[in-house]
Amino acid sequence: MTDIVIIPMREHSKGIRNKNIFRFNNGLTSLEMLKKVLKKLDDVDIYVSTESTLIKKFANSVGIKVLMRSLELGNDEATIDDVVEDLMMNPIIDYYQNIWIIQATCPLISLKSLKIIRETLNSNLEIDTVFSAREVKAFIWET
């Protein structure tokens, strides 16, 4: 059965407006980098969840489907929990085995990490949630 990957993106992000569609030095946006990695996984459908017609237009232009959400889920008070709760009410979710939420702000997640996550979910039915994390030292001189 196919998995669904949902990348939440809001137009009015905190700090840097439209940071999710800025191009990096390699000429790709975070969304395009994520798509490049995710397409190497078998049986995944990729969607962007957004309230923004601008982001919808951009996602469609790079070949990614869009799930529109309410404007309230794009404001600074909305949490990822609010977005996920809204997504769980969408009937499209019923057609998928696993639901992946991947933040557009982590475009450098590795294919190896994604494969480990999928293997973990599929091999142990007692596990219903997996997240990736990486230990980062605040200062390079700390040991």
C-alpha radius of gyration, the chain, whole number: 16
Mean pLDDT by 10 residues, the chain (143 residues): 88 72 73 81 90 91 92 87 93 92 79 88 88 72 62
Residue 142, pLDDT score? 60
Residue 107, pLDDT score? 67
Residue 66, pLDDT score? 94
Of 60, 51, 110, the residue nearest 86 (C-alpha) = 51
Query: For the whole model, what pTM was predicted?
Result: 0.82
Cα dihedral across residues 133, 139, 141, 143: positive or negative: negative
Residue 87, pLDDT score? 93
Of 100, 98, 123, the residue nearest 6 (C-alpha) = 100
Residue 38, pLDDT score? 82
CA angle, corner 37, sides to 55 and 14, nearest 5? 35
